[in-house]
Amino acid sequence: MKKGIFDILQGDKGVWVIVFLLSIISLLAVYSSTGTLAYKRFGGNTQYFLMRHFMFMVISFIIMYFVHMVRYTMLLRLSKLFFYISIPLLIYTMVGGLTLNQASRWITVPFINLSFQTSDFAKLSLMLYLAALIASRQQTIGDFNKGFRRLIIPVVFICGLILPSDFSTAALLFVSAVVLMYIGRVKIQHLLGMAGVAVVALTLFILVAMVSDSDSRIGTWKNRIENFVDDEGGGNFQSNQAKIAIASGGLTGKGLGHSVQRNILPHPYSDFIFAIVIEETGFAGAFLLIGLYLILFFRTAAIVRKCKRVGPALMVAGMMILMVIQAFVHMAVSVGIFPVTGQTLPFVSMGGTSLLISSVQMGIILSVSRSLQQDNKKRTSQIQNTEPDENDQSDI
């Protein structure tokens, strides 16, 4: 008997469906929002970025499939290796990475000549490693030295390496790590103490930013914050154009491919793709996207509840936290709730590294879901094999 596609794709079927739907939305949104970029760089070849994005999407699905076929225990064992690999990658990026807007975030992968954003790999590695650490220290999780201190050191170290070039990613990762530690039963007083230290550090950072050179990276952060709170000065150009796109979209939008702000808004295909989606599909499209991410959140939360062990539960929670928080930060920036951050919309924005890492995250979630399904089948089979046969008369 031939197997259907959902017999091949194991794990939570609802998660697979959501990923497929987000990918379809992504193809339409990227094709629409890259028209101006195609005319500038490739003489009007609007198919180039669509095919390039489609290629990355196919590769990402292949990666997701192979990751979801790996049992989660192997991924937990590899988490420490991934963590230690991310450290020299971040250091190399700071020293010899590609620089854009006073920020070194990318390195060029040899032979294939593609840029790779190392902070995305570091985010995945840290959350995976943190999940393994929390799971292994459940007996001492309430102790400051044996539990909390050993958890917070890798978080501060990785976030500190990311911070000089990407404040928003470092902040998002730090918040995600704190949430994961809370789920992992770290004492609330330890987390509150760390939050107090973070507030003091942020205050000092703001003071340094206020007196810094405007040509430095800190100056860029300063300008974004000042533009965000400056109503009389007109605010940030990107944020204003995103608001115009959203306001002009109305209830049903202007129609696919009819965006005007894609020709004005910087990076409409990545940093502000949510605004373009609303302009073309209206609030109906916005509610659809928000609904898909919320359903994804509840589906993954259901997987966490089904886990009988701490390790896989925290793995799923960590991947879910990273993805959902990033998605809603992107949306909040588009509608003007947060300052401009440059965070992409997972599975929707154009971007090779972001798409590949998001696929690995989803593959990890599906790996745990697949393992749970297999364990349930084994238990069911064992129960059925041990049940007495009603037709067996040997004891009579």
Residue 3 banded pLDDT, cuts 50, 70, 90: low
CA 372 to chain centre: 23
Residue-wise pLDDT for 196-205, tens only, equals 888 887 777 7
Domain boundaries, the chain: 10-69+236-373, 79-226
Residue-wise pLDDT for 29-51, tens only, equals 999 888 778 887 777 777 888 89
- 19-28, 93-102, 142-151, 367-376, range with greatest mean pLDDT: 19-28
Across the range 124-138, mean pLDDT stands at: 92
Across the range 315-339, mean pLDDT stands at: 90
- 6-20, 292-306, 342-356, range with greatest mean pLDDT: 292-306
pLDDT given at position 296: 93
Residue 395 banded pLDDT, cuts 50, 70, 90: very low
Say yes or no to pLDDT of 291 above 70: yes
Is the CB of residue 290 less than 8 Å from the CB of residue 331? yes
Residue 321 to residue 339: CA distance in whole angstroms: 21
pLDDT given at position 7: 65
Residue 1 banded pLDDT, cuts 50, 70, 90: very low
- Look at 360 and 236; give whichever has higher pLDDT: 360
Strand order across the beta sheet in which 98-100 lies: 98-100, 103-109, 114-117
Q: CA nearest 304: which of 282, 321, 285?
A: 321
Say yes or no to pLDDT of 214 above 60: no
pLDDT given at position 260: 87
Q: DSSP class of residue 388?
A: P
Instruction: Read off the pTM.
Output: 0.86
Say yes or no to pLDDT of 364 above 90: yes
Q: CA nearest 278: which of 340, 330, 321, 216?
A: 330
